[in-house]
Amino acid sequence: MNSIVLLKHWLMIALPIAVYVLFNRMNLFSIDLFLSNFVAGVNFFIFTISVLIMQVGKRNKPEEFVFRYLSMTTVQILCFLAIVTALIFTQKPKVIVFHNLILFSVLLVFQSIGLIVFKSNEIKS
């Protein structure tokens, strides 16, 4: 496993979360600091696990990449839905659910675009 590739995948996750936390520290959002850190931490955990899923195994066949990508996305969405369900049943403020949804969606788009670009560069070389 190439450590540079792992670092690039991890940075795709860490940068949007860092921007979210920075915006919250600047009081741009009307959410409690603890709750925003909770949202950032949960999303960071979900997407860190997905980086490990993508790095496992050989990179010989495109079918394996597609299988790992679909597995990763399924695990991410199931974890996200479990967290959101727990937040709703414990009657936390709805703003936490929306922040979680927005951050999760942004991270999923960043990660998908990054993986597609990475895979296309790998195929070209």
Q: Note whether 43 and 17 are within 8 A (CB).
A: yes
Q: What is the DSSP letter of 57?
A: S
Instruction: Return the pLDDT at 20.
Output: 86
Considering the entire predicted model, what is its pTM? 0.83
How far is the C-alpha of 76 from the C-alpha of 54, rounded, in Å? 12
Which pair of tokens denotes residue 94?
């709805």
Most confident residue range from 22-26, 52-56, 121-125: 22-26
Local structure of 25: helix, strand or coil: helix
How far is the C-alpha of 58 from the C-alpha of 122, rounded, in Å? 13
How far is the C-alpha of 23 from the C-alpha of 102, rounded, in Å? 14
Mean pLDDT of all residues in the chain? 83
- In tens, the pLDDT along 70-98 reads 888 998 999 999 999 999 999 988 888 88
Mean pLDDT over 12-31 rounds to 83
